[in-house]
Chains A and B, each alone.
Chain A
Amino acid sequence: MSEIAIKEAPIATEKEISDKKVMLDIKDLTKIYTTPKGEYVVLEKLNLQVMKEEFISIIGHSGCGKSTLLTMIAGLNDISEGEILLDGKPITKPGPDRGVVFQSPSLFPWMTALENVLLGVEQVFPHGSKNDRLDICKYYLDKVGLGDAFNKKASELSQGMQQRVGIARAFALKPKILLLDEPFGMLDSLTRAELQDVLLEVWNKENITAIAITHDVDESIFLADRVIMMTSGPRAVVGDILEIPLERPRTRREVIEHPDYYHYRGHLINFLEH
């Protein structure tokens, strides 16, 4: 099972990427908040394309508008100007074709881990049998390492475990794109590394297009095919893009020991410090 799904060394050249289908197309996206002091332009004419089955991470300083960008893709935040096309169709409202993993796990504490995942699965697969839906939930909970905690109440799980359920919930929707809003920002560094592995493990099998917001340089390199660097707001745009053509599946050790790793790191830190 696992062998089939592993991608064969996708060291994509520029040409190959442009041949691939565009999954997410952000065109001249502008976000303006009206404040008592006048208009505040968070994003101004931001353009970005994400290919099908690509994993990108977006990095930038706090308050640069990366979360705003993500919530706009999720449909939870209105678009002021420009448009976002998902698989060719403009985004107008939130929907389960975009699985979101929030920074706080946002599980419903009165439900069990299984029920939390099931709530979404019921929405996406209303026609299947109840057992089919349960199987989907159990499959993903198992994949994120919670095979023995199906019936634990979310409030009884540790924060790291809760975020695992959050990841399972997002994948179980079989979304077109996965949106991760600093998904590991609230976790300690050991748990964070664990969850990065879990995330990549599931992602390698599913090949869902994914966008992860982060302000952790190492995380952004480890996860992504491309790292998008956003300029500091106001009027933030895409400042620079770094390709990370490392082989997948990746292990932390291989990535860190790769001869180009410090070059990538240097590039990103250099951007963030200027």
Chain B
Amino acid sequence: MKAIALKLCSVTGMKWGIPFVKLFSGEEVLEQLKEIWGTVGIPLIAIVTFLLIWHFGAKQIDTSLGQVPGPAMVWEQTKALWAEHVDERIKADEFYARQDARNAAKLAKNPNANIRVVDYTGKPTYIDQIFTSLKTVFMGFLIASLIALPIGIICGLSKKIMQALNPMIQVFKPVSPLAWLPIVTMIVSAVYVTNDGWLEKSFIISAITVSLCSLWATLINTALGVSSVNEDYINVAKVLQLSPTKKTFKIVLPATLPLIFTGLRISLGVGWMVLIAAEMLAQNPGLGKFVWDEFQNGSSQSLARIMVAVFTVGIIGFILDRIMVELQKLVSFDKKTIA
């Protein structure tokens, strides 16, 4: 039981839970209290201070949308957004129930009746938008990885190819998503004309923009990892006369995995960060669009709702990072090097 709880704490990145678990199991109470003060007490004081400064500072500023919201208002809106979500779900359920009842009645009257099944068309709720954003970022991340990993490996293996591609990599790497978006929009619009509803155009545009910004970290880390594999490993491969494929898959890639995962982790972080900007402009129905719509809407709650989005983005970004760290630990042979 205790072991499970401790494992859970470290996997979720909540290291501060560890002394609590130990405290409840009666392990060196004074030691644990000290530990708790350090890991929980001090950050808690900082957070409370931040909330107080925010609370009183916010009151000083009046915007065209009213006073800057304080923590209390943001919390209100968090609850309101959740309530809207629940409401919308109830409405959707009722709609489907009505539709089913209507169709059943029709069929009872005439078994050959023409049945129409329609999707509920309510507006996406905040929770829906979070999931759209997650889908988009994973799509973008997937595209980025599919491009960056092979190119990174090839760059790492061949110095000449690295020299050929390096200038382009260095030039494209710092470009903002806002610059890529119009170009991607025009190209996707020109190429992806079917629009059969399988994938929304705006979804593809945001995903590709995310890829263009996030693939560089993976590419560079992979190339660096592959090109800097321990000299001894390469010597062993030479002595054993391993074939190039065997050398790549049995030695170079396993040796590079930790760095590849560092790259993937940065890529996912960058992707999530630029996603909001991409969605805002591409009007992909995700968190970015939510922020943009609230900004355009300009009601008295808008700023508070945007702040909810800020925290959501932050917390989800943190969770994604933790997931990547755990994956990295899973595949890495040297557990000590991972933060």
- The residues of A with any CB-CB pair to B shorter than 8 Å are 74-76, 93-96, 98-100, 102, 104, 106, 108-110, 119-120, 123, 153, 155, 173
Contact = CB atoms under 8 A, between A and B. Distances in A.
B244 to A, nearest CB: 14
A95 B240 CA distance: 6
B335 to A, nearest CB: 8
Nearest to A93: B238
Interface in B284-315: none
A100 B239 contact: yes
B232 interface: yes
Interface in B205-260: 230, 232-233, 235-236, 238-242, 250-251, 254-255, 257
Nearest to A170: B239
A123 B238 contact: no
Interface size class of B (residues with CB under 8 A): 10 to 19
Nearest to B258: A110
Contacts of B334: 109, 155
A94 B238 contact: yes
B333 interface: yes
Nearest to A169: B236
20 contacts: A76-B238, A94-B235, A95-B241, A96-B240, A96-B241, A98-B239, A102-B232, A102-B236, A104-B232, A106-B230, A106-B236, A108-B255, A110-B254, A110-B257, A119-B240, A119-B250, A123-B240, A153-B333, A155-B333, A155-B334
Interface of B: 230, 232-233, 235-236, 238-242, 250-251, 254-255, 257, 333-334
A90 B334 CA distance: 40
Contacts of A76: 235, 238-239
B235 A100 contact: yes
B232 A106 contact: yes
Main DSSP-derived SS at the B contact region:
helix
A74 to B, nearest CB: 7
Contacts of B254: 108, 110
Contacts of A109: 333-334
Contacts of A102: 232, 235-236
Contacts of A104: 232
Given A76-B238, A94-B241, A96-B241, 10 more contacts: A95-B239, A100-B235, A104-B232, A108-B233, A108-B251, A110-B254, A119-B240, A123-B242, A155-B333, A155-B334
A204 B62 CA distance: 90
Contacts of B251: 108
A98 B241 CA distance: 11
Nearest to A166: B236
A123 B241 contact: yes
B333 to A, nearest CB: 4
Contacts of B257: 110
A192 B144 CA distance: 49
A206 to B, nearest CB: 18
The CB with the most chain A CB atoms within 10 A, among B230, B233, B235, B251, is that of B235
Nearest to A116: B236
B232 A120 contact: no
A110 B333 contact: yes
Contact of B235 (A106, A110, A120, A123): A106
A76 B333 CA distance: 27
B84 to A, nearest CB: 49
A110 B258 CA distance: 11
Contacts of B250: 108, 119
A104 B231 CA distance: 11
The CB with the most chain A CB atoms within 10 A, among B236, B250, B333, is that of B236
A99 B241 CA distance: 12
The CB with the most chain A CB atoms within 10 A, among B240, B241, B255, is that of B240
A221 to B, nearest CB: 28
A94 B239 contact: yes
A173 B239 CA distance: 10
B270 to A, nearest CB: 28
A108 B235 CA distance: 12
In the A-B complex, the 9 residue pairs with the smallest Cβ-Cβ separation, listed nearest first, are: A106-B232, A110-B333, A94-B238, A109-B333, A110-B254, A94-B239, A123-B240, A120-B240, A100-B239
A274 B251 CA distance: 45
Contacts of B230: 106
A104 B255 CA distance: 16
Contacts of A94: 235, 238-239, 241
A109 B236 CA distance: 13
Contacts of B255: 108, 110
The CB with the most chain B CB atoms within 10 A, among A104, A108, A120, is that of A108
A126 B232 CA distance: 24
A100 B233 CA distance: 12
A153 to B, nearest CB: 7
